């Protein structure tokens, strides 16, 4: 299936997100190949959602970058697409800012059937710019801190908060 693509939302004012931002991968089709070589295709990977709000952020909407499910054909089953990446930057010091209704943002790996390998989940992070350096929170998901995120090669956060979540840190060149 096709991958989810990318959405970037940059807002100078306030945002109440009560709708849906979806950058999901498509499910795999039943077949690819010709004649006797037909197989099931894999699901597309979830996309990327980058949300940067300078004003208050609130609402109870959803943000998803899920991978697509694997296709199936005859006795062949394609794997699911991996979950995507969600990064939400907001300022908790702005009047009315409350992300409690948005904590279920999710980037699940695509489902499969009959023993095909399920894809891995993606990453979701909430970055509070009210503090210097920025604070990060991860809810019900995971966030992988990549070397590219560090910019200067150093991860510098005021606070790191995990709720039902896991994290990994990639440190290239570290001894």
pLDDT in tens, 99-152: 888 888 888 888 876 666 778 888 888 888 887 777 777 776 666 665 555 555
Instruction: Write the DSSP assignment of 13-82 as a string of letters.
Output: S-EE--SEEE-PPPPPPS-BSSGGG-BPPPPPPP-EEEEEESS-EE-S-EEE-PPPPPPEETTEEPPPPP
pLDDT reported for residue 174: 46
Compute the Cα dihedral for 49, 100, 62, 165 and give only its sign.
positive
The model's pTM = 0.79
- Identify the H or E element spanning 147: helix 147-150
Q: How far apart are CA 84 and CA 80, in angstroms?
A: 12
pLDDT reported for residue 37: 60
């Amino acid at each position: 299936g096709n991958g989810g693509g990318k959405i970037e939302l940059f807002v100078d004012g306030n945002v109440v997100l009560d709708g849906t931002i979806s950058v999901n991968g498509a499910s795999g089709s039943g077949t690819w190949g010709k004649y006797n070589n037909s197989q099931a295709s894999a699901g597309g990977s979830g996309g990327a959602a980058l949300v940067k709000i300078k004003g208050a952020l609130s609402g109870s909407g959803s943000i998803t970058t899920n991978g697509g499910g694997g296709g199936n054909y005859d006795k062949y089953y394609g794997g699911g697409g991996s979950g995507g990446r969600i990064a939400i930057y907001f300022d908790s010091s702005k009047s009315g800012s409350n992300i409690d209704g948005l904590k279920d943002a999710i980037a699940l790996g695509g489902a499969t059937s009959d023993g095909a390998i399920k894809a891995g989940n993606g990453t979701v992070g909430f970055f509070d710019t009210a503090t210097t350096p920025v604070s990060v929170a991860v809810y019900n998901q995971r966030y992988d801190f990549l070397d590219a995120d560090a910019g200067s090669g150093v991860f510098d956060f005021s606070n790191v908060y995990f709720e039902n979540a896991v994290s990994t840190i990639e440190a290239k060149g570290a001894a």
